[in-house]
Amino acid sequence: MAGLGEVCTHVVSLMFAIEATVKLCDSKSVTQAPAYWLLPAPLKQINYIHVDETDFTSAQMKKHLDEAVATGTQATLLDETVLIQLSHEINKGPVKPAIISIVQPISDTFIPTEAQCMYPTMLSDLFD
């Protein structure tokens, strides 16, 4: 009945969605533009940078992290026998972490339990 005084609302809703999307794409949010508020008196200028480029660590924390990285010790690799012994000890526990399933002697015995599916009886099975 469209065209006889009726209105196609689906066309209008599509046009509204397109217009709203274009307006959102063309406009900038508050975080996409330099600050527009007044600066405190001692500051002359603040350079605008994106949030992903901002370093939020404090100077003291950054110094502490730099020292920890510079003076850190190298981790030693586990010997294969130690890794196997550790994996056997972990395997004895009630919870089996998935990481031990890749250790060769244990991977043969690692069989995950499948999920118990409790589906109702099918209607076709009720009328045999």
List the pLDDT tens digit at each of the 128 positions of the chain: 455 666 677 888 889 999 999 888 888 776 666 666 677 777 777 777 777 888 777 888 888 888 877 777 777 888 888 888 888 888 888 887 888 778 777 777 766 666 556 777 888 887 76
- Dihedral sign for Cα atoms in the order 75, 81, 82, 84: positive
Task: Give the pLDDT confidence score for residue 54 in this predicted structure.
Answer: 80
Residue 87 near residue 106 (C-beta atoms within 8 A): yes
Task: Give the pLDDT confidence score for residue 1 in this predicted structure.
Answer: 47
Per-residue DSSP letter, 106: H
Task: Give the pLDDT confidence score for residue 16 in this predicted structure.
Answer: 92
pTM beyond 0.95: the answer is: no
Buried/exposed 85-111: b ≥16 CB within 10 Å, e otherwise: eebeeebeeeebeeebbebeebeeeee
Query: Helix, strand, coil: what percent of the chain each, to 5?
Result: 50, 0, 50
92: its two tokens: 């004895």
Taking Cα atoms as reference points, which of 110, 108, 76, 114 lies closest to residue 95? 110
